[in-house]
């Protein structure tokens, strides 16, 4: 999969994909992330990409020309399955959306800034608008990083243990059960005996009960779905 990300602050996106699972995905050739600086595509002086909004009001708006120049130049090279605009008024991102997007070949993400981007770009170029939650970020970059991570780790072959994505929280509308590692006794705090039983049927059942209990107390809304 290839994910191209257009940003006016590309420095924000230099390191998130160079570590851990995202790095492994890149090293295996399963995920390629390219950061594109919107300022490279402006025709205005001093690399201007934004301007005041018609009708007045505080805050700048990303202009049509640089955005359209960038997208049309990239579309010469790549056929995108989705052109995603990261925006607080988009559809709230969740695990089913991550699962769906992980099946695509090429994604283009547009990071807004300031007051956002010209509505005509949203109307004519964007195919999907996504938010990562009900709070406001300074720009779409961190949201694009969140999407890229959540999607990238689901690409087949990225995770070592394929089953580990299947047992994530949310994958079956249940939160993940508690986990323990060595030592078995730390300051008198021991681990549940069942985990040492060697009986995998019993262990699976215990984990399921714990997941259900956790979901009931922390996220009962997930069980209504
Ligand atoms: Cl996608 N962008 C911004 N600027 N703020 C957000 C967001 C996106 N999702 C939640 N808050």
CATH number of this structure's domain 2-152: 3.40.1280.10
134 annotated among ligand-binding-site residues: yes
- Give pLDDT tens digits for 20-71: 888 999 999 999 999 999 999 999 999 999 999 999 999 999 999 999 999 9
In tens, the pLDDT along 166-224 reads 778 887 899 999 999 999 999 999 999 999 999 999 999 999 999 999 999 999 999 98
Q: Cα separations (Å) of 214 from 8, 157, 205, 217, 218?
A: 41, 30, 14, 5, 6
- CATH 1.10.1270.20 residue ranges of the chain are 167-224
pLDDT of residue 162 exceeding 80, the answer is no
139 CB under 6 A from ligand 1?
yes
- Domain 167-224, what fold? 1.10.1270
pLDDT at 131: 98
Q: Is 89 labelled as part of a ligand binding site? A: no
**pLDDT value of position 169:** 83
Note the ipTM here: 0.97
Give residues with Cβ within 8 angstroms of 32, minimum separation 6.
1, 2, 3, 26
Q: Note the pLDDT of residue 163.
A: 64
Q: What value does the mean pLDDT take over residues 94-121?
A: 95
- 88 Cβ below 6 A of ligand 1: yes
Atom of ligand 1 nearest to the CA of 144: 1
């Amino acid at each position: 999969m290839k994910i191209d990300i257009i940003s006016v602050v590309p420095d924000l996106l230099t390191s998130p994909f160079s570590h851990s699972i995202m790095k492994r995905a890149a090293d295996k050739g399963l995920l390629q992330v390219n950061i594109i600086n919107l300022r490279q595509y402006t025709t205005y002086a001093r690399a201007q990409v934004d301007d005041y909004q018609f009708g007045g009001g505080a805050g700048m708006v990303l202009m049509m020309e640089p955005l359209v120049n960038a997208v049309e130049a990239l579309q010469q090279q790549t056929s995108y399955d989705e052109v995603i605009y990261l925006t607080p008024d988009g559809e709230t991102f969740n695990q089913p959306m991550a699962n769906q997007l992980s099946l695509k070949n090429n994604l283009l993400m547009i990071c807004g800034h300031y007051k956002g981007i010209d509505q005509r770009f949203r109307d004519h170029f964007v195919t999907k608008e996504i938010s990562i939650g009900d709070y406001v970020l300074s720009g779409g970059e961190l949201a694009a990083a969140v999407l890229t991570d959540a999607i990238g780790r689901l690409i087949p072959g990225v995770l070592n243990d394929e089953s580990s994505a299947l047992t994530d929280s949310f994958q079956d509308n249940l939160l993940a059960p508690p986990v323990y590692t060595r030592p078995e006794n730390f300051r008198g705090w021991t681990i549940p005996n069942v985990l040492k039983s060697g009986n995998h049927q019993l262990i699976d059942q215990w984990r399921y009960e714990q997941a259900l209990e956790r979901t009931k107390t922390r996220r009962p809304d997930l069980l209504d779905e």
